[in-house]
């Protein structure tokens, strides 16, 4: 008996040392996935859950909530003013001279502006491992792994064809001919990107409560958890204009989560979720605006700043037809996700000003509304130690602002293990 207990204890400890997926991960570039149901309150229960999802899109929503090209969610790039505020431009260098000549041209509507487009692909594997102790308390360790790709990068010139300057002006055509060279000189690229990364590891502690003795209800379940998001993912690359961070860009986060579910009629479940994540400030090296009229992903100047990442909020609800045919269940859910404005406190005030830097559309709040559908089969049987389950799901963003419209489809597999010491 003692030997069995020790072997089981080491197995549980090994599970807890393996990172697992963050159910609370929320990014502007993918549809939010539906929330997990409250935790079972069973002493020493161990759970392993693996979720795989993917999707792609060429579309997004801009600050006015309208659909637009993927890389146009922050509006047109103003190349006419790209060189404004850049120090030490050398008029004897061909690329710097082009910037100087372009900036000298007067304004004429959309002169010198381009709209970027592209394609985004997402593939993620989330693994969640959870260990119950006693009296409803549990621990959870979380790890996401993503593959993020931005491809087919192109732009459309929206400069006017009439008036001066215009689409045919020599200063503008010279800029377009040397576009990549100008960016290279200032250490940035507009090329496609593709990277596979481990996300930010999240460690939770929580408490769960199950009650199946309430009048007029089959059950009432509640789970509360909080923890620490550890910045193990790579940060955004300042050398790649369309780089996407693998996590929360180096920030330590403090997630909070409340989940509730109630059952009726032996088959109907209603669930709700409220959550948030708060971040500690973090020093970053970032591309920043040097002129109020600059806009978009591409900026020539970079420097150090203290980043205050906007708080994340999410509210969700779902209804579930639970075990309607054996272990088969169906679910439909809605999720609202929002991140508040991010602000930067610049270090080099000779080059940057906080007011101009923080006018960047890329730092402004984003919002996302997602509808999810899912199907699951639970193989659990009474008295069985190992209880697996399988599911599929689809997440569709129906509205929002400053987001990628990435539908995601995927599947998950879980295993609940009841230890019999």
Q: DSSP code of 70?
A: G
Measure the CA–CA gap between 96 and 94, rounded to whole angstroms: 6
Q: Provide the β-strand partners of residue 368.
A: 337, 400
Measure the CA–CA gap between 373 and 31, rounded to whole angstroms: 12
Q: Helices then strands (H, E): number in the chain?
A: 5, 20
Q: Is 355 exposed, middle or buried (0-12, 13-18, 19+ CB in 10 A)?
A: exposed
Residue pLDDT, tens place only, 182-224: 999 999 999 999 999 899 999 999 999 999 998 889 999 999 9
Please check the confidence at residue 174 and state whether its pLDDT lies above 80.
yes
Q: 148 near 194, Cβ under 8 Å?
A: yes
Helix 94-103 / helix 170-177 crossing angle, nearest 10 deg: 140
Question: Would you say the C-alpha torsion 348, 349, 354, 360 has a positive or negative sign?
Answer: negative
Q: What is the 3-state secondary structure (H, E, C) of 356-367?
A: HHCCCHHHCCEE
- The CA-to-CA distance between both ends of the chain, in Å, stands at 8
Please check the confidence at residue 314 and state whether its pLDDT lies above 80.
yes
Residue 381's pLDDT is what? Answer: 77
Residue 308's pLDDT is what? Answer: 98
Cβ neighbours for 352, distance < 8 A, ≥ 6 positions apart? 288, 289, 290, 301, 303, 305, 346
Please check the confidence at residue 10 and state whether its pLDDT lies above 90.
no
Instruction: State phi, psi for 5 to the nearest 5 degrees.
Output: -60, -45
CA-to-CA separations, 296 to 23, 290, 355, in angstroms, rounded: 30, 13, 17
What is the number of structural domains in the chain? 1
The average pLDDT across 274-295 equals 96
The average pLDDT across 242-260 equals 94
Domain of 72? 2-418
The CATH number given to whatever domain includes residue 169 is 2.40.160.40
CB neighbourhood size of 38 (10 A): 23
Residue pLDDT, tens place only, 129-166: 999 999 999 999 998 999 999 999 999 999 999 999 99
Q: 111 near 105, Cβ under 8 Å?
A: yes
13, containing H or E segment: helix 2-17
Dig out the tokens for 291 from the structure: 């002129």
Q: DSSP code of 296?
A: S
The average pLDDT across 295-304 equals 96
């Amino acid at each position: 008996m003692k030997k069995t207990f020790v072997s089981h204890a080491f197995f549980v400890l090994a599970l807890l040392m393996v990172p697992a997926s963050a159910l609370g991960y929320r990014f502007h570039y993918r549809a939010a996935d539906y929330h997990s149901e409250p935790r079972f309150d069973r002493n020493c229960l161990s759970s392993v859950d693996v979720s795989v999802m993917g999707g792609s899109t060429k579309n997004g929503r801009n600050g006015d909530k309208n659909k637009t090209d993927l890389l146009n969610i922050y509006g047109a790039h103003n190349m006419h003013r790209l060189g404004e505020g850049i120090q030490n431009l050398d008029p004897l260098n061909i690329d710097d001279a082009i910037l100087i000549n372009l900036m000298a041209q007067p304004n004429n509507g959309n002169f010198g502006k381009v709209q970027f487009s592209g394609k985004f692909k997402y593939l993620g594997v989330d693994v969640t491992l959870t260990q119950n102790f006693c009296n409803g308390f549990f621990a959870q360790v979380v790890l996401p792994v993503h593959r993020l790709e931005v491809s087919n990068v192109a732009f459309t010139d929206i400069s006017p064809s009439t008036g001066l300057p215009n689409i045919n002006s020599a200063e503008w055509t010279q800029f377009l001919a040397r576009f990549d060279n100008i960016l290279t000189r200032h250490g940035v690229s507009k090329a496609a990107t593709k990277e596979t990364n481990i996300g930010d590891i999240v460690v939770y502690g929580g408490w769960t409560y199950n009650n199946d003795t309430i009048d007029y209800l089959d059950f009432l379940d509640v789970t509360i958890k909080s923890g620490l998001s550890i910045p193990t993912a790579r940060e955004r690359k300042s050398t790649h204009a369309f780089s996407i961070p693998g996590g929360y860009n180096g920030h330590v986060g403090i997630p909070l989560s409340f989940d509730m579910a109630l059952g009726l009629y032996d088959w109907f479940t209603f669930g709700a979720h409220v959550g948030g994540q708060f971040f500690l400030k973090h020093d970053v090296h970032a591309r920043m605006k040097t002129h109020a009229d600059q806009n978009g992903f591409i900026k020539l100047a970079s420097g150090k700043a203290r980043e205050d990442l906007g708080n994340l909020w999410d509210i969700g609800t779902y209804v579930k037809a639970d075990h309607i045919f054996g272990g088969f269940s169906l679910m439909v859910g809605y999720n609202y996700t929002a991140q508040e404005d991010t602000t930067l406190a610049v270090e080099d005030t000779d080059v940057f000003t906080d007011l101009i830097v923080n006018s960047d559309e890329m730092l402004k709040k984003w919002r996302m509304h997602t509808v999810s559908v899912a199907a699951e089969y639970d193989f659990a049987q009474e008295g069985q130690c190992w209880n697996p389950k399988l599911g599929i799901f689809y997440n569709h963003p129906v509205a929002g602002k400053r987001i990628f419209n990435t539908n995601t489809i995927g599947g998950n597999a879980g295993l609940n293990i009841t230890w019999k010491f």
